[in-house]
Amino acid sequence: MQLFPCPFCGPRDETEFHYGGDAGNARPDGVDVPIERWADYLYLRTNPKGTAREIWVHMNCGEFFVMERDTVTHKVLSSTALGGEHAA
């Protein structure tokens, strides 16, 4: 089990976290959004090998944050609160 750094609580066991999707998957608003663009937002994921920026939520405190980690080595590179405050 890995240790994830919650920007609010510090390093905690991975079982306390939920994955929330790719970071930077901005939501296109409006009914006129091209359907391909909307489908990308809903379903298309980058699944990178190496450094990935992901949204995670710490279930214990409810904090959503951006975590950068390496999908090959499982090394955690950084975690940043959604407001932009940097933690680790």
Which of the listed partners (another protein, Zn ion, none) does 61 bind, with a CB threshold of 5 to 8 Å by partner kind? Zn ion
Contact with another protein (CB under 8 A): which of 6, 10, 18, 48?
Answer: 18
Q: How far is CA 17 from the centre of its chain?
A: 11
DSSP letter, residue 14? G
Q: What is the total residue count of the chain?
A: 88
* Binds another protein by CB under 8 A, chosen from 44, 48, 77, 82: 82
On whether the CB atoms of residues 53 and 66 are closer than 8 A, the answer is yes
Phi-psi region of 74 (alpha: psi -120 to 50; beta: other; left: phi over 0): left
The nearest distance, CB 24 to another protein, in angstroms, is 11
Which residues of this protein are in contact with another protein, per CB under 8 A? 1-3, 14, 18, 20, 27-31, 33, 35, 38, 41-42, 55, 57, 59, 62-64, 74, 82-83
